[in-house]
Amino acid sequence: MTNNIFLFNNETYLQLTGTAMGTSPAPTYATHYFWIHKNNTLPHHLNQCLSYYGRYIDDLFGIWDCSHSNWESDWVLFKNQMNSYGSLKWEFSELQTQSVFLDMTVNLNNGHIRTIMYEKDLNLHLYLPASSAHPPGALTSLVTGMLTRINTICSEENDRQRLSKNFLKYLVYRGYSKKQLNIAWRQANKSISSKKTTSPIQLRPVILHTNYFQSTRYKYIKNAYHDLFEFPSKATPISECITNDDFNTFGPAPLTLAHHRSRNLKNILAPRKLLSDPFEKE
């Protein structure tokens, strides 16, 4: 990392220690850096008190088994060893039966692990309002993403039901009608159910990148793709016509229309400009 250059306040700097925040290789660099120390420290504790260990870049989560006679001294030793590598230090929470890791609350009670989606107390739930000029599928995508998140994180059904009802209430507050939400909910549940029964074979996505247009034209293109390529009535599907090994996973994946917006005033009046040389002056 001898060329760790970044720009701040129109001044170019060379960082001498560590890696600059926001640079693309920073997470990978940090992960590999700590991986060396982890392989030398964790094996001893994994065979003793550390029942589970998980890490996402700079967030750690573990389960410490307190049934061993020397668990207290091992806990102190573990913290000291983790902080004996490099200049940065880990901040440890005290041992407890409930902890928050990323967007999940984990509760340990009598050997049973319960997980639930974590939400901050100051979360205002300001979801995309109904008056926003977005494509029709934006609401369905929003509902599908949140329901998938709730069902994935929460381990108990009553938590899933409660959080789903709260999410529905927040969307009503944002101006959506019952009809809009009923349609989005049905489509979201259909999408989630289809993913659970999807074949393990990963199909290559078929993506059409285009400007945003009205839903009538969107439906016409989707129907044409379905009738001509996916399931033609009097012809062989395109997935069975292609024999090249490079395309053996093509189709019958559904068509995805990727919209991009038109240029706004900000793009016109204040366009971004990337310099080929960070030290180059205009």
Spatial separation of the C-alpha atoms in residues 230 and 212, rounded to whole Å: 23
| Contacts of 11-15 spanning 24+ positions with Cβ under 8 A | 12/278, 12/279
Q: Going residue by residue through the chain (282 aa), what tens digit of pLDDT does each one get? A: 677 777 888 888 888 877 777 777 778 877 888 888 888 877 777 777 888 888 887 888 888 888 888 888 888 888 888 888 877 788 898 888 899 999 999 998 887 889 999 999 899 999 999 998 888 789 999 999 999 999 999 999 999 999 999 999 999 999 999 999 999 999 998 888 877 655 555 566 778 877 766 555 777 777 787 777 767 776 666 656 655 554 444 455 677 778 777 777 887 787 766 555 544 544
What's the confidence (pLDDT) of residue 248?
Answer: 47
What's the confidence (pLDDT) of residue 236?
Answer: 66
Quick check: 196 and 231 in contact, CB under 8 A? no
Alpha carbon separation from 188 to 93, 169, 191, 254 (Å, rounded): 38, 17, 5, 16
- String of DSSP letters for 215-245: HHHHHHHHHHHIIIIIS-SSS--HHHH---G
What's the confidence (pLDDT) of residue 116?
Answer: 95
